Amino acid sequence: MRVASVAIAASKLATAVGIDAPREWKTAAGDDSVEKGTYRQGTELDQMAFTGWVSGFGQMGNTRRGFSLVRKDWEEVRTFRLLFSHENQRRSGEELRQASLLNQAEMTRGTRTSQGRRHYPETWENMSAYQRNPVMTNLRGSTITWLGHAVVHITTGKGTEILIDPFIEHNPKYPKGHKLPGRIDLLLLTHGHSDHIADAAAVAKQHGPEVVAMVELAGWLKSKGVEKASGMNLGGSYKVKDVIVSMVEARHSTGIEDGGKTIYGGEPVGYVVSVDGGPVLYHAGDTAVFLDMQLIRDLYTPEIAFLPIGDYYTMGPKGAAVAARYLGVKTVVPIHFGTFPVLTGTPEELEKELSGSGIEVLKPKPGEALR
Ligand SMILES: [Zn+2]
């Protein structure tokens, strides 16, 4: 029954999004970790074949299901990932469209070859885990790249370049040879510890961003020759191009080490980055979990959270799982783990803590772009 209902739902969906399906479709195996097989059902599906997978059996009766359409010559693959409830399975394609599930679901994958054609891996099994399980939150034109530790690079659909917590030269997890864009518009700093600001002045001088930080930290940076440093404070928002940056609370400390002295760096913070027409992202900085993360949810409704999980200096996977629930996010990208031996938390532990929650944990490699 489950197989049949996925097939029927997928068929309705294909109709709803207007897929122009060729008559011949090659089939491929489904996700072997969950439910393997190819589903072909009834006259509606005579024109296409697709692989299906079912994952994340939720306690609420919601199941994340998806399917891929694969043409015989591998010229085109479309992947859909949906949150189906039993109720949704009974809806017509048009109803599904109206429920705007589709807005979040579509994603085309593959890379263009030099001839401009899309290239796809030979088999489903050869695909990376990320290719098989595309990001559930639709980034709507934005690209996010984790660069090891707490370094995150965001490029919005309109081309605004944002870098958070530059720890590059001495960051053992920074992807070797990774080049930052020549122009960076915004450099956001969560607090004054060296594993977050070590390369801030260098990046500011080389890439010319406006630097946003807590007022005391911004003041210190100015004293180090960073001209465009804007000091904000908790609760404030600031619009730059197509993004609104909001400075939010974090539970940590923030002394700045400078010439053998520790200088007061204000309060540590996190940031909500709301992209116009794009996703709302939250970078927690270094923090413990705290109940007021629910205020961040109420005020900004973030969709994707970059959460520290390494433990010791910040929350570990257990705390991060509670944080993800408080924040109401759909997707978590774990950060601040594995950089040093003491940061022992792992994404797998976080996944375990979040199993059944419907919250997805993405595990990109440093430097791997999420689109
Ligand atoms: Zn840190």
The CA 141 to ligand 1 mean position distance, Å, reads 29
pLDDT at 239: 96
The CA 337 to ligand 1 mean position distance, Å, reads 9
pLDDT at 136: 52
pLDDT at 201: 96
Query: φ, ψ for residue 347 (rounded to 5)?
Result: -60, -35
Please state, in angstroms and rounded to a whole number, the distance separating the CA atoms of residues 78 and 248.
38
The CA 150 to ligand 1 mean position distance, Å, reads 7
Q: What is the CA radius of gyration of the chain?
A: 22
The CA 146 to ligand 1 mean position distance, Å, reads 15
pLDDT above 90 (res 216) = yes
Of residues 95 and 337, which shows the higher confidence score? 337
pLDDT band at 33 (very low <50, low <70, confident <90, very high): very low
The CA 273 to ligand 1 mean position distance, Å, reads 20
pLDDT above 60 (res 187) = yes
User: Which residues, including other chains, have CB under 8 Å from residue 227's CB and lie 6 or more apart?
Assistant: none
pLDDT band at 150 (very low <50, low <70, confident <90, very high): very high
The CA 193 to ligand 1 mean position distance, Å, reads 7
Of residues 138 and 273, which shows the higher confidence score? 273
Classify residue 144 by burial, with Cβ atoms within 10 Å: 0-12, 13-18, 19+: buried
The CA 278 to ligand 1 mean position distance, Å, reads 28
The CA 313 to ligand 1 mean position distance, Å, reads 7
pLDDT at 367: 95
pLDDT above 90 (res 281) = yes
3-state SS, one letter per residue, for 66-130: EEEEEECCCCCEEEEEEEECHHHHCCCHHHHHHCCCHHHCEEECCEECCCCCEECCCCHHHCCHH
The tens digit of pLDDT for each residue in 85-98 reads: 444 444 444 444 44
Q: Is residue 129 within 8 Å of 357, Cβ to Cβ?
A: no
Of residues 213 and 56, which shows the higher confidence score? 213
pLDDT above 80 (res 333) = yes
The CA 317 to ligand 1 mean position distance, Å, reads 15
Sign of the Cα pseudo-torsion (16, 18, 23, 29, in order):
negative
The CA 354 to ligand 1 mean position distance, Å, reads 23
The CA 238 to ligand 1 mean position distance, Å, reads 24
The CA 316 to ligand 1 mean position distance, Å, reads 13
Architecture label for domain 143-370: 4-Layer Sandwich (3.60)
The CA 210 to ligand 1 mean position distance, Å, reads 22
Q: Which ranges in the chain are annotated with CATH 3.60.15.10?
A: 143-370
pLDDT above 60 (res 338) = yes
178: three-class secondary structure by DSSP: coil
Tokens of 212: 């946003």
pLDDT above 80 (res 290) = yes
The CA 286 to ligand 1 mean position distance, Å, reads 5
pLDDT at 141: 85
pLDDT at 278: 84
Q: Where are the alpha helices (DSSP H) in the chain?
A: 2-16, 86-89, 93-98, 129-132, 194-197, 200-207, 215-223, 293-300, 317-327, 347-353
Instruction: Report the percentage of the chain scoring pLDDT > 70.
Output: 63
The tens digit of pLDDT for each residue in 217-276 reads: 999 999 999 999 999 999 999 999 999 999 999 999 999 999 999 999 999 999 999 999
pLDDT at 371: 82
Average pLDDT score, the chain: 75
pLDDT at 317: 98
Least confident of 23-27, 79-83, 157-161: 23-27
pLDDT above 50 (res 110) = no
334: three-class secondary structure by DSSP: strand
The CA 45 to ligand 1 mean position distance, Å, reads 52
pLDDT band at 200 (very low <50, low <70, confident <90, very high): very high
Residue whose tokens read 């595309």: 134
Query: φ, ψ for residue 61 (rounded to 5)?
Result: 85, 5
